[in-house]
Structure formats: C-alpha cells, structure tokens
Amino acid sequence: MERVAIVAYKPNPGKEEALRALIKKHGPVLKQEGLVTAKDKFILETADGTIVEVFEWKSAQAMKTAHTNPKVQQMWREYAAVSTYTPLNRLPEAGSLFAHFTSVN
C-alpha cells in the first residue's frame, strides 16, 4: 500500500539554492530506484523559506529499502549538509486551519 510522505527542510544559512537544486533531483532518483509512485510530488515553501516536499512511497517496504539504498543514503547526507529536517508542527503555517504555502514546482 502506498504511503504519503511530507517532509520539511529548513535551509542552512546561505544554502537555499543548494537545497532547491537537491530537491529537484530527489524525485527522479527515488523514481529511478523504484521507490516512489509515478504521482507528481508537491514542493512548497513556507514564509520563512522552509521547503516542504510531499511525495508517495510505493509501499512501506519501499520506505525500508530507502534506508539501505546507497543512492538514497547519499542524497540524505546531502540534505543534512544543506538543511535541517523540521517537524511539520514547528512550521507557523501548521497552526492555521488552512495552511497556505507558496508552490515551488
């Protein structure tokens, strides 16, 4: 069964463009590795510049496989170098009944 993932990345100072570039290649790598569905992902931005990515894993097993996939692991290291993973409940937008974001893609 498919699983939707929503992840927020707060860019490190001066790393905004590096994060945007990484986000653009993330989906194609996950697709190439057979881990996500063909559905388009959403890339959103908060008022403070945090990037929110919404995509669909093919299954719970695909999520597990990502944790041992060398290409995915490399991308996750790259994310850690340019951003901080941020829980959704820390986004100011998450406190609103209707959360509004800017579309990046």
Chain segment 20-60, per-residue pLDDT in tens: 999 999 999 999 999 999 999 999 999 999 999 999 999 99
CB-count exposure of residue 9 (10 Å: 0-12, 13-18, 19+): buried
Q: Report all structural domains of the chain as residue ranges with CATH numbers, in order of start.
A: 3-87 (3.30.70.100)
Residue 79 has pLDDT above 90, yes or no: yes
Other Cβ atoms within 10 Å of 92 Cβ, number: 11
